[in-house]
Protein backbone atom coordinates (compact mmCIF):
# COMPACT_ATOMS: atom_id res chain seq x y z
CA UNK A 1 0.00 0.00 0.00
CA UNK A 2 1.68 3.19 -1.26
CA UNK A 3 0.57 6.82 -1.28
CA UNK A 4 2.01 8.38 -4.43
CA UNK A 5 2.34 12.19 -4.33
CA UNK A 6 1.74 13.65 -7.79
CA UNK A 7 3.69 16.22 -9.75
CA UNK A 8 1.84 17.26 -12.91
CA UNK A 9 4.03 19.24 -15.28
CA UNK A 10 2.74 22.04 -17.50
CA UNK A 11 5.16 24.46 -19.14
CA UNK A 12 7.91 23.35 -16.76
CA UNK A 13 5.90 24.05 -13.61
CA UNK A 14 4.18 21.87 -11.04
CA UNK A 15 0.42 22.36 -11.51
CA UNK A 16 -2.93 20.72 -10.85
CA UNK A 17 -5.75 20.67 -13.37
CA UNK A 18 -9.47 20.60 -12.75
CA UNK A 19 -11.23 17.75 -14.61
CA UNK A 20 -8.22 17.40 -16.90
CA UNK A 21 -8.74 20.85 -18.44
CA UNK A 22 -5.44 22.49 -19.41
CA UNK A 23 -7.12 25.90 -19.20
CA UNK A 24 -7.95 25.28 -15.53
CA UNK A 25 -4.43 24.88 -14.17
CA UNK A 26 -3.28 26.06 -10.75
CA UNK A 27 0.48 26.50 -10.33
CA UNK A 28 1.60 25.01 -7.01
CA UNK A 29 5.34 25.19 -7.43
CA UNK A 30 7.41 26.73 -10.23
CA UNK A 31 10.27 24.38 -9.27
CA UNK A 32 9.21 20.72 -9.70
CA UNK A 33 12.58 19.40 -8.51
CA UNK A 34 12.21 21.27 -5.22
CA UNK A 35 8.72 19.82 -4.87
CA UNK A 36 10.06 16.30 -5.47
CA UNK A 37 12.66 16.77 -2.75
CA UNK A 38 10.02 18.14 -0.37
CA UNK A 39 7.89 15.03 -0.87
CA UNK A 40 10.90 12.82 -0.17
CA UNK A 41 11.68 14.74 3.01
CA UNK A 42 8.07 14.31 4.16
CA UNK A 43 8.58 10.55 4.04
CA UNK A 44 6.93 9.55 0.77
CA UNK A 45 8.49 6.51 -0.92
CA UNK A 46 7.50 7.01 -4.56
CA UNK A 47 6.72 9.88 -6.93
CA UNK A 48 4.08 10.00 -9.66
CA UNK A 49 4.88 12.46 -12.47
CA UNK A 50 2.80 13.38 -15.52
CA UNK A 51 3.98 15.43 -18.50
CA UNK A 52 0.67 17.12 -19.28
CA UNK A 53 1.95 18.93 -22.36
CA UNK A 54 3.45 15.67 -23.52
CA UNK A 55 0.14 13.84 -23.19
CA UNK A 56 -1.40 16.21 -25.72
CA UNK A 57 1.67 16.45 -27.98
CA UNK A 58 2.34 12.71 -28.10
CA UNK A 59 5.98 13.21 -27.18
CA UNK A 60 8.00 14.43 -24.23
CA UNK A 61 7.70 18.19 -23.67
CA UNK A 62 8.76 18.65 -20.04
CA UNK A 63 11.87 16.49 -20.27
CA UNK A 64 14.16 19.01 -18.59
CA UNK A 65 11.85 19.24 -15.58
CA UNK A 66 11.67 15.44 -15.31
CA UNK A 67 15.46 15.17 -15.49
CA UNK A 68 15.73 17.75 -12.70
CA UNK A 69 13.27 15.74 -10.59
CA UNK A 70 15.30 12.55 -11.13
CA UNK A 71 18.44 14.35 -9.95
CA UNK A 72 16.70 15.88 -6.92
CA UNK A 73 15.12 12.79 -5.36
CA UNK A 74 16.35 9.32 -4.45
CA UNK A 75 12.77 8.02 -4.57
CA UNK A 76 11.65 5.88 -7.51
CA UNK A 77 9.71 7.89 -10.08
CA UNK A 78 6.98 6.77 -12.47
CA UNK A 79 6.21 8.97 -15.48
CA UNK A 80 3.29 9.22 -17.86
CA UNK A 81 2.36 11.58 -20.67
CA UNK A 82 3.47 11.38 -24.29
CA UNK A 83 5.35 8.07 -24.03
CA UNK A 84 4.25 6.32 -27.21
CA UNK A 85 7.14 4.24 -28.61
CA UNK A 86 9.67 1.64 -27.49
CA UNK A 87 12.37 4.26 -28.10
CA UNK A 88 10.61 6.69 -25.75
CA UNK A 89 10.37 3.97 -23.11
CA UNK A 90 14.01 2.89 -23.38
CA UNK A 91 15.18 6.51 -23.35
CA UNK A 92 13.35 7.29 -20.13
CA UNK A 93 14.35 4.11 -18.34
CA UNK A 94 17.97 4.82 -19.28
CA UNK A 95 17.60 8.30 -17.77
CA UNK A 96 16.62 6.83 -14.42
CA UNK A 97 12.86 6.30 -14.30
CA UNK A 98 11.65 3.39 -12.21
CA UNK A 99 8.74 2.81 -14.58
CA UNK A 100 6.88 4.37 -17.46
CA UNK A 101 3.12 4.74 -17.69
CA UNK A 102 1.55 3.99 -21.06
CA UNK A 103 -1.92 5.40 -21.64
CA UNK A 104 -2.94 6.37 -25.17
CA UNK A 105 -0.69 3.73 -26.74
CA UNK A 106 -2.35 1.06 -24.58
CA UNK A 107 -5.57 1.78 -26.50
CA UNK A 108 -4.03 2.44 -29.91
CA UNK A 109 -1.40 -0.32 -29.92
CA UNK A 110 -1.78 -2.92 -27.15
CA UNK A 111 0.84 -5.10 -28.83
CA UNK A 112 3.46 -2.40 -28.21
CA UNK A 113 2.64 -2.45 -24.48
CA UNK A 114 3.01 -6.24 -24.40
CA UNK A 115 6.34 -5.99 -26.23
CA UNK A 116 7.51 -3.27 -23.82
CA UNK A 117 6.65 -5.49 -20.84
CA UNK A 118 8.68 -8.31 -22.37
CA UNK A 119 11.64 -6.04 -23.11
CA UNK A 120 11.55 -4.07 -19.84
CA UNK A 121 10.13 -6.42 -17.18
CA UNK A 122 8.68 -4.70 -14.13
CA UNK A 123 9.17 -1.27 -15.66
CA UNK A 124 5.87 -0.73 -17.51
CA UNK A 125 2.56 0.43 -16.04
CA UNK A 126 -0.66 1.10 -17.92
CA UNK A 127 -2.66 4.26 -17.31
CA UNK A 128 -6.40 3.84 -17.80
CA UNK A 129 -8.22 7.16 -17.68
CA UNK A 130 -12.00 6.97 -17.92
CA UNK A 131 -14.90 9.35 -18.29
CA UNK A 132 -18.34 7.87 -17.80
CA UNK A 133 -16.84 4.39 -17.74
CA UNK A 134 -15.22 4.75 -21.18
CA UNK A 135 -11.47 5.06 -21.71
CA UNK A 136 -10.17 8.50 -22.79
CA UNK A 137 -6.96 9.09 -24.76
CA UNK A 138 -4.73 11.89 -26.10
CA UNK A 139 -4.48 13.74 -22.79
CA UNK A 140 -8.15 12.98 -22.07
CA UNK A 141 -9.15 15.02 -25.13
CA UNK A 142 -10.70 12.06 -26.97
CA UNK A 143 -13.11 9.34 -25.86
CA UNK A 144 -12.91 5.75 -27.03
CA UNK A 145 -15.58 3.05 -27.01
CA UNK A 146 -13.48 0.79 -24.80
CA UNK A 147 -14.63 -0.05 -21.30
CA UNK A 148 -12.14 0.09 -18.44
CA UNK A 149 -12.20 -3.62 -17.58
CA UNK A 150 -12.25 -4.58 -21.27
CA UNK A 151 -8.98 -2.71 -21.79
CA UNK A 152 -7.37 -3.96 -18.59
CA UNK A 153 -8.04 -7.58 -19.48
CA UNK A 154 -6.02 -7.18 -22.69
CA UNK A 155 -2.89 -7.03 -20.52
CA UNK A 156 -3.54 -9.96 -18.19
CA UNK A 157 -0.43 -12.12 -18.10
CA UNK A 158 1.64 -9.60 -20.08
CA UNK A 159 3.78 -8.50 -17.15
CA UNK A 160 2.25 -5.04 -16.60
CA UNK A 161 3.54 -3.87 -13.21
CA UNK A 162 0.44 -1.82 -12.34
CA UNK A 163 -2.70 -0.22 -13.72
CA UNK A 164 -3.21 3.40 -12.73
CA UNK A 165 -6.95 4.00 -12.92
CA UNK A 166 -8.15 7.60 -13.03
CA UNK A 167 -11.80 8.67 -12.92
CA UNK A 168 -11.55 11.90 -14.93
CA UNK A 169 -14.93 13.10 -13.67
CA UNK A 170 -13.41 13.36 -10.19
CA UNK A 171 -9.89 14.50 -11.00
CA UNK A 172 -8.78 17.69 -9.29
CA UNK A 173 -12.15 18.54 -7.73
CA UNK A 174 -11.71 16.86 -4.34
CA UNK A 175 -14.90 14.79 -4.38
CA UNK A 176 -13.26 11.57 -3.25
CA UNK A 177 -11.94 8.58 -5.19
CA UNK A 178 -14.45 6.43 -7.08
CA UNK A 179 -13.87 3.45 -4.82
CA UNK A 180 -16.67 1.33 -6.33
CA UNK A 181 -15.23 1.42 -9.87
CA UNK A 182 -11.64 1.14 -8.66
CA UNK A 183 -12.29 -1.93 -6.52
CA UNK A 184 -14.42 -3.46 -9.30
CA UNK A 185 -11.40 -3.16 -11.61
CA UNK A 186 -9.07 -4.62 -8.97
CA UNK A 187 -11.42 -7.60 -8.57
CA UNK A 188 -11.55 -8.16 -12.36
CA UNK A 189 -7.81 -8.44 -13.04
CA UNK A 190 -4.74 -9.85 -11.32
CA UNK A 191 -2.63 -6.78 -12.20
CA UNK A 192 -2.07 -4.45 -9.20
CA UNK A 193 -4.31 -1.35 -9.36
CA UNK A 194 -3.46 2.18 -8.21
CA UNK A 195 -6.39 4.53 -7.54
CA UNK A 196 -6.26 8.05 -8.95
CA UNK A 197 -8.57 11.01 -9.34
CA UNK A 198 -10.41 12.86 -6.59
CA UNK A 199 -8.54 11.85 -3.43
CA UNK A 200 -9.86 14.56 -1.16
CA UNK A 201 -9.22 14.10 2.53
CA UNK A 202 -8.04 11.89 5.35
CA UNK A 203 -11.35 10.03 4.94
CA UNK A 204 -10.03 8.74 1.62
CA UNK A 205 -6.82 7.62 3.29
CA UNK A 206 -8.84 5.76 5.93
CA UNK A 207 -10.93 4.19 3.15
CA UNK A 208 -7.72 3.26 1.33
CA UNK A 209 -6.49 1.17 4.28
CA UNK A 210 -9.83 -0.58 4.87
CA UNK A 211 -9.57 -4.37 4.49
CA UNK A 212 -11.35 -4.58 1.12
CA UNK A 213 -9.10 -1.89 -0.40
CA UNK A 214 -5.83 -3.50 0.63
CA UNK A 215 -5.81 -5.40 -2.65
CA UNK A 216 -4.80 -2.09 -4.26
CA UNK A 217 -1.16 -1.15 -4.72
CA UNK A 218 -2.04 2.32 -3.47
CA UNK A 219 -3.46 5.68 -4.45
CA UNK A 220 -2.25 8.95 -5.97
CA UNK A 221 -2.77 12.31 -4.29
CA UNK A 222 -2.33 15.71 -5.87
CA UNK A 223 -4.44 18.72 -4.99
CA UNK A 224 -5.39 17.47 -1.51
CA UNK A 225 -1.71 17.30 -0.54
CA UNK A 226 -0.93 20.73 -1.98
CA UNK A 227 -3.97 22.31 -0.31
CA UNK A 228 -3.18 20.78 3.07
CA UNK A 229 -6.34 18.66 3.17
CA UNK A 230 -4.17 15.62 3.78
CA UNK A 231 -1.56 15.65 6.51
CA UNK A 232 1.44 13.73 5.10
CA UNK A 233 2.64 12.38 8.44
CA UNK A 234 -0.80 11.24 9.57
CA UNK A 235 -1.50 9.64 6.19
CA UNK A 236 1.82 7.81 6.06
CA UNK A 237 1.42 6.63 9.67
CA UNK A 238 -2.01 5.15 8.80
CA UNK A 239 -0.57 3.35 5.79
CA UNK A 240 2.40 1.96 7.71
CA UNK A 241 0.07 0.71 10.45
CA UNK A 242 -2.12 -0.99 7.82
CA UNK A 243 0.92 -2.74 6.32
CA UNK A 244 1.70 -4.29 9.69
CA UNK A 245 -1.89 -5.35 10.40
Catalytic-role residue among 51, 129, 167, 204: 129
pLDDT tens track for 103-158 = 889 999 999 999 999 999 999 999 998 887 788 776 555 666 788 999 999 999 99
Say whether 51 is catalytic: no
Mean pLDDT within 37-54:
96
**Integer distance in angstroms from the first to the last C-alpha of the chain?**
12
Say whether 21 is catalytic: no
Kindly tell me if the per-residue pLDDT of 225 is higher than 60: yes
73: pLDDT confidence band, cut at 50, 70 and 90? Answer: very high
% of the chain exceeding 90 in pLDDT: 73
How would you write 73-132 as a 3-class SS string? CCCCEEEECCCCCHHHHHHHHHCCCCEEEECHHHHHCHHHHHHHHHHCCCCEEEEEEEEC
Amino acid sequence: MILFPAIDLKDGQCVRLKLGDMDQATVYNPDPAAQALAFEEQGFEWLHVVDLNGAFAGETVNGAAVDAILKATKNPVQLGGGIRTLEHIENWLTRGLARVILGTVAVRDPALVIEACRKFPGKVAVGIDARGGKVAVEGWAEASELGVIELAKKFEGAGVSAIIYTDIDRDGILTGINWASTLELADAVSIPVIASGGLASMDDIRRMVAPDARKLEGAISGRALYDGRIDPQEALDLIRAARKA
